[in-house]
Amino acid sequence: VEPEFKYVGNMHGNEVLGRELLLQLSEFLCEEYRRGNERITRLIQDTRIHIMPSMNPDGYEVAAKQGPDSNGYLTGRNNANGVDLNRNFPDLNTLMYYSREISGPNHHIPLPDNWKSQVEPETLAVIQWISSYNFVLSANLHGGAVVANYPYDKSQDQRFRSHRRTVNTPTPDDKLFQKLAKTYSYAHSWMHRGWNCGDYFADGITNGASWYSLSKGMQDFNYLYTNCFEITLELSCNKFPPEEDLERQWMANREALVAFIEEVHQGIKGMVSDENNNGIAGAVISVQGISHDITSGDMGDYFRLLLPGTYTVTASAEGYQPLTVTTTVGPAGPSLVHFQLKQEVVRKPAERKASGTRMNNKALKKVVPRATRRGTQR
């Protein structure tokens, strides 16, 4: 089973470079595959690549009518209803920060009951899309700066927002996110230099909340609701660059766009199955020391992005005994780790009585390990 990867462009309608780059990338991948390019052929055969060039076509049409010369900084940014789509996803950060205070989960956080009535059609379509596939890695493409931005985008203390005070707000996967962001910035022609558009970002990357805090963004939503690790790529100082600049921008981003897709192939992957080799959907994959779990897909397949190192990993599912293994991840590709879970056996009280053996609760727990009762919570 191949990991699912996605690129999303143009969620702000007037930030058009991402849209153009993703159209060009689609053509490039097809052409290179037909030419027999070994790297691209391997990438396409080993990865399911999803590309959405424009999440906000209505906003793009407004911006395109203005053209690159007279385009206002905000003209076409919002959708047809005047809503900023990157401030329109359910606010799971607030739920996560509350949950953290009571040692609750920060993954697969359930959506509010009335969430569908609070989002725009484009947002609804994207949430349904990302709920339909077990995406592993993603990037959404923006403009107005040149930097690779990683979660969290929203700081816990919003009082700092109006003062533009920087508050680094890392995820449990902070080192991994920094590596993902650097992969893009250093493969880009000049992003990694740091000085761009009058701003400086070391290595060309930034924690989102450290730059400025935003609520209800798509990047954090991916991490908190799904298995997907998403970063935000700011690709140009000019949100609507002229046509004659597109070839230069394509050459600056081409290697980075391909290299970032290749980052989906790291960490561990495998199948979670029962004793009859049937895949177990929604099994929880926990990594000791990283308080963020992922879950298996519909067929029992899972992909957990990890940096090189040695990890203790546990797979658990409702009704099964959890299984823990230790595995080493190398730099060359994902390690294959399969989990075959045994069904949890709980003897009924009548059976215990019939056997003539009296067992107290403490003794019973030693005989029957208690499975971790965590599901996808979707």
Pairing assessment for the beta strands 323-329 and 205-207 based on DSSP bridges: unpaired
Residue 275 falls in the annotated catalytic set = no
Q: How many CB atoms lie under 10 A from the CB of residue 197?
A: 15
Write phi, then psi, for 267 (nearest 5 degrees): 95, -135
Write phi, then psi, for 100 (nearest 5 degrees): -65, -30
3-state SS of the chain? CCCEEEEEECCCCCCCHHHHHHHHHHHHHHHHHHHCCHHHHHHHHHCEEEEECCCCHHHHHHHHHHCCCCCCCCCCCCCCCCCCHHHCCCCHHHHHHHHHHCCCCCCCCCCCCCHHHHCCHHHHHHHHHHHHCCEEEEEEEECCEEEEEECCCCCCCHHHHHHCCCCCCCCCCHHHHHHHHHHHHHHCCCHHHCEECCEECHHHEEEHHHHCCCCCCHHHHHHHHCCCEEEEEEEECCCCCCHHHHHHHHHHHHHHHHHHHHCCCCCEEEEEECCCCCECCCCEEEECCEEEEEECCCCCEEEECCCCEEEEEEEECCCECCEEEEEEECCCCCEECCEECCECCCCCHHHHHHHCCCCCHHHHHHHCCCCCCCCCCC
d(CA 222, CA 202) in angstroms, rounded, equals 25
From the list 4, 120, 122, 234, the catalytic residue is 234
- 83: tokens are 């809503």
Residues facing 312 on adjacent strands: 326
- Catalytic machinery residues: 234
